Amino acid sequence: MSILDRSFAARWKAAVSGFALLAAAAAPLAAQISYGGRPHWDVALEAWPVHDFGTVDRGALAAEDAVTDAYKQAPWRFGVEHAADFGTERGGVWSVESGAPVWRAVVRCPGALGISLRFDRFAVPKGGQVFVWAIDRSGFLGAFDHRSMKPSGGLAVGLLAGEELVVEYRGPRGTAQDAVELHIDQVVHGYRGLESAPAAAEAAEDRGPYGTSGACNINVNCPEGALWATEKRSVALILEGGFAACSGALVNNTANDGTPYFLTANHCLGNPGNWVYVFNHESATCAGSTGPTNNTVSGGALVANNGGSDFALILLDETPPAAYNVQYAGWDASGALPLNATGIHHPSGDVKKICFDEDGPTQGNQGGAAVWYISEWEAGVTEGGSSGSPLFDPNHRIIGQLYGGYAACAGSVNNGQADWYGRFNVSWNTGNTAATRLRDWLDPSNSGVTAIDGWPDGAVSYANDGAVGITGLPDNVVCGAGTITPSVTLTNFGTELLTSATLTWSLNGAPPVEVAWSGSLAQFAAVSVALPEMTLADGVNTLDVALTAANGQTDENGANNLASAEISAFAGPTFTYQLVLTLDDYGSETTWQVRRLGQIIYTGGPYQDDLGGTQVVVDLCLEDGCYILEVEDSWGDGMCCEYGNGGWQLLGPDGVSVATGGTFTDSETEQFCTPEVGVFEGGAEGSSFSVVPNPTSGVFRVDGDLPVGAVLELLDAAGRVVARGVGRTFDLGGMPAGVYVVRVAGTGQVARVLLDR
């Protein structure tokens, strides 16, 4: 039987109906990122509009599945996709409950094991909540709110067990019905699941909610996968409508900043904005085909793809939360031939599996794509649904993603056939634009690095591998002629016992000072090594620390041998201000900064949500000068007052309020100066004019009553006249940032203006 080409998935989906997310049991579930609360399902069931999508022809579906299940490029079908057309404008019922507008509609799929939905329009006002709940109240999804809105405008909602569910929207009290726009364009009837197994006794053990793979597959948590416990956390199952479409993996970038880039195959592409990405769907043991289904992210945007190596890079709409404990896999773009290779994947939509090629792949070409060719798996295998999954080299770095192949199970063993993976090194620099290659995204600083380990956990084990970090530093600016006494955290990531290490430290580029350590550190153990007291210079200080030897020899992994930190200090007279923030209900939208002459001195936020009324007090140590406080709200509705009575207050050294705020849209700024400078907001005391805007980024004007023919002078901080004339507009565009004085010649009237870029 010949292998199908890369367009198989698209052609097959056009020919037959799709499938849905299924549940292994009718239990309360929470899928994708939601924002708390519970549906208002304590109301009596009423005659809400019912959208009934009827039964499905299981016999015909089984006949189709018998053909397509054999093909690797074919996505694994487990539900039927139905076109839908209803939402808050039509197809539901509105009511008012406790002053809040409520909309509900019922979805019915007789005989379904589970139902999923897709909103092609999802626009919810702040304070509104959407839930999807089983009509028997056995489980629900949500709340989804304004934070669930996607750049694509839609939202794919994951699995809910059962054959009848309620879609519910509850708006903020007093809001109009047209404040929300919800429209459902797809409903998926899940038909393959537990009852498809030969017997009920086998079902719980042998079938998963999204599909079942062949008996020769190896669960990732079998003993064979023990060394891959870090990398497995990067791999996810891709669900699209009613298909367990493909697999893929989060990938690291050279900034090590957790940008959620997700690598899969080009031939898997449909609309990534409608995909649901399921992480940690794995059996906890070496047996079984059930695992968590609630670690999901909805939606993503395609940033690069190319058929020349069959890759696609997706930027997920949301960063997987810390609770998912994901890993961003490392990669190698050198093209070096690996001695062996390992695949981690979701065959046929099943729980996560692992396979091993002990004699290593070779380079080749398949279907016009540059590939790694695996002649035969020595343990485990891949299947349909594995497409797009990562291939790792012995250093635990991704070198490709699954394109296709003949490999499959033949009973309890694999069939000895070949697979091929698109080559990462070709994907790295193929094509002429960022949209056709990986390097622009995974090496944003254009560092030229061609291989990195995973993040946040390193992927490779070395015998001698010490790592250093700097601790004991002040959180904020050090006031006065300050000193610090930092420490070095020395960690042993190597497999050998670490008994000695040589460290060096240097402050502000001074000659390195050597520090010797000896002791006994097992793998992953850490110890704090004290450094001497250091006197800081005025301004920004840089502390560099290095590990130069481990166990009396060169450390095998230089990637974690250096650490650097910056510490700001004000050596002259200082003043202590306080910023008091009162959070609203959405602290995650609030950020702030204090800057001077374009340099950010302090910054804070975002904060947690649902902490309305909580006060955050920040001490600000400031040297003599003028500053700008800027408070921002990412949603554009300020800190007060619709969603909590939040706000901010700036207190001076004497504890007296300097400024307050909180009612704004995107942001508001406040200029203030320490007492020694004495710059007034507009005009100086006794002056009849003011300066607008102040602070300024260049051009400003003088407003107020001035004598006819009055001459205005502009002085710099040294008292030198830098401009003079009878006009009322000045342009500081070519001047250095700082404080300037506007003076009416021959009088005592002055006003100060701050130039800030």
Q: Catalytic annotation on 310?
A: yes
Q: Catalytic annotation on 189?
A: no
Report the distance separating Cα 485 and Cα 476, nearest Å. Answer: 15
Alpha helix segments (H runs only) across 610-670: none
Q: How far is CA 324 from its chain centroid? A: 12
Torsion of CA 602, 321, 264, 429, to 10 degrees: 10
Report the distance separating Cα 526 and Cα 491, nearest Å. Answer: 4
CB-CB contact of 601 with 658 (8 Å): no
CB within 8 Å of 100: residues ≥ 6 apart: 170, 171, 172, 173, 175
Backbone angles phi, psi at 456, to 5 degrees: -85, -10
Q: Catalytic annotation on 387?
A: yes
Report the distance separating Cα 565 and Cα 508, nearest Å. Answer: 11
CA distances to 488, 537, 577, 600 from 623, in Å = 30, 14, 11, 14
CB-CB contact of 249 with 228 (8 Å): no
Name the active-site residue from 82, 189, 267, 346.
267
Strands 478-479 and 562-570, bridge-based pairing: parallel
Picking from 67, 85, 84, the residue whose alpha carbon sits closest to that of residue 76 is 67
CB-CB contact of 159 with 116 (8 Å): yes
Q: What angle is formed at CA 138 by the lines to CA 133 and CA 139, rounded to 5 degrees?
A: 45
CA distances to 511, 526, 562 from 544, in Å = 11, 19, 7
Query: Both tokens of residue 364?
Result: 């080749």
Burial class (CB in 10 A: 0-12, 13-18, 19+), 725: exposed
Query: Both tokens of residue 456?
Result: 């946040």
Torsion of CA 257, 259, 265, 269, to 10 degrees: -170
Name the active-site residue from 65, 310, 357, 633.
310
Report the distance separating Cα 313 and Cα 261, nearest Å. Answer: 7
Name the active-site residue from 17, 116, 387, 690.
387
Annotate 554-618 with three-state secondary structure.
CCCCHHHCEEEEEEEEECCCEEEEEEEEECCCEHHHEEEEEEECCEEEEEECCCCECCCCCEEEE
Picking from 565, 606, 564, the residue whose alpha carbon sits closest to that of residue 588 is 606
CB-CB contact of 406 with 3 (8 Å): yes
Picking from 367, 120, 105, 405, the residue whose alpha carbon sits closest to that of residue 241 is 120
Report the distance separating Cα 264 and Cα 451, nearest Å. Answer: 19
Torsion of CA 264, 268, 273, 274, to 10 degrees: -130
Picking from 77, 158, 72, the residue whose alpha carbon sits closest to that of residue 347 is 72
Q: Match 């009613």 to its residue by tokens.
A: 242
Residues recognised as catalytic:
267, 310, 387
